[in-house]
Amino acid sequence: MTITRWIGAVAAIFVLLLMGVQRPVEAKEYVTHFTHANGTSIAYQDIGDPGDPAVVLIMGLGAQLITWPDMFIDELTHAGFRVIRFDNRDVGLSQKLYELGEPSFLWAAIKDRLGLPLGADYTLDDMAEDTVGLMDVLEIESAHVVGSSMGGMIAQLVVGHHPERSRSLVSIMSSSGAEDLPEPGGAVMEVIMQPRPKERDAAIERAFDVFATINNGGVSDPDALRAFVTLAYDRCYYPPGVSRQMMAIWAGGSRVEVLKTIRLPTLVIHGTDDPLVPVQHGKDTAARIPGARLQVIEGMAHGLPAFSREIVSTLVQSVVEYLTSVEASIR
């Protein structure tokens, strides 16, 4: 990974740390449970009929389980699916590795230039094993695996390494990690790389501004966006964990060889207007998975909170219809 790509990855931290969904001020609440999976304490929610086919939702870098839209949950359960969403390690209410401290990106960059191992505290493969471990605890034999951004990367690894535990893969606004793919736009990076305020209100306002930037200046529902970033900040704000997750992405490198082995039904979704992970990443991911279906959504960017309701609805409908068709073929 080049230094330029590293800078782009650092930029992504600050976006995905706060990436949220279009939520009403009074969002639905579900019971949050806690368990140990793969040696890690994981916070999760189990929604729907336990007898229905399971869908495991994996969120992106620094993003908490509340980032999945209520519309996602409602439509999936209405279609006859059991939904599992959880906080990845080091974010939300799941286990924090406080004792490890915050990694040094400068030192990691030096090691990368010298061809030395980065020394990440864990990898995306470890996070994929967290997912499978949670399925073990919940006695889920196999599940549809749906991931967004970094969550898409983890989902790719779950399906690639554990096809017997997977029913299908849905990779949303994610990447194969292949070299020479386009990097984030300069304007987006300029805004994202600005210092993060420590004071609560200033940090919330900055998050709002970042969302507007990664959605090309547009925010469809300012009140809902501000309510969400406030909720996310108050639920958990832990930047060191996000930094360690970014190191896991960096250390993991390309998933191209894993993608070539996937033989399960796969849907790749990406937006035409994604300035953080350009649409070429989605096209590349789909091209590397045999038989994968690619859906490019016109006007979709990378920050769900600023999406119009129409785009959110299109995204949710695409996922629900695809999983329903896959499930019908399995039965």
Cα–Cα distance list, 241 to 38, 99, 233, 277 (Å): 18, 11, 14, 21
Geometric angle at alpha carbon 232, from 64 and 311, rounded to 5°: 75
Task: Provide the pLDDT for residue 27.
Answer: 54
Check: CB of residue 83 under 8 Å from CB of residue 47.
Answer: yes
Sort 266 into a burial class: Cβ within 10 Å, 0-12 / 13-18 / 19+. buried
E-state strands within 71-184: 82-86, 143-148, 166-172
CA atoms of 255 and 161, how far apart (whole Å): 11
Tokens 């930047």 -> residue: 239
Say what the alpha-carbon torsion angle 124, 129, 131, 132 is, to the nearest 10 degrees.
Answer: 150
The residues with which 148 forms a beta bridge, in sequence order, are 172
The residues with which 268 forms a beta bridge, in sequence order, are 171, 294
CA atoms of 164 and 56, how far apart (whole Å): 15
* CA 40 centroid distance within chain: 19
- In a structure prediction context, what are the per-residue pLDDT tens digits for the chain, which is 331 residues long? 444 444 444 444 444 444 443 334 345 789 999 999 999 999 999 999 999 999 999 999 889 999 898 999 999 999 999 999 999 999 999 999 998 888 766 766 776 777 767 778 999 999 999 999 999 999 999 999 999 999 999 999 999 999 999 999 999 999 999 999 998 877 777 776 777 777 899 889 888 887 777 777 677 788 888 898 899 999 998 888 988 998 999 888 899 999 999 999 999 999 999 988 999 999 999 999 999 999 999 999 987 766 778 888 999 999 999 999 999 998 7
Report CA torsion sign: 296, 166, 83, 255.
negative
Tokens 């900040």 -> residue: 233
Residues 6+ apart with CB under 8 A from 315: 172, 269, 297, 300, 307
Sort 78 into a burial class: Cβ within 10 Å, 0-12 / 13-18 / 19+. exposed
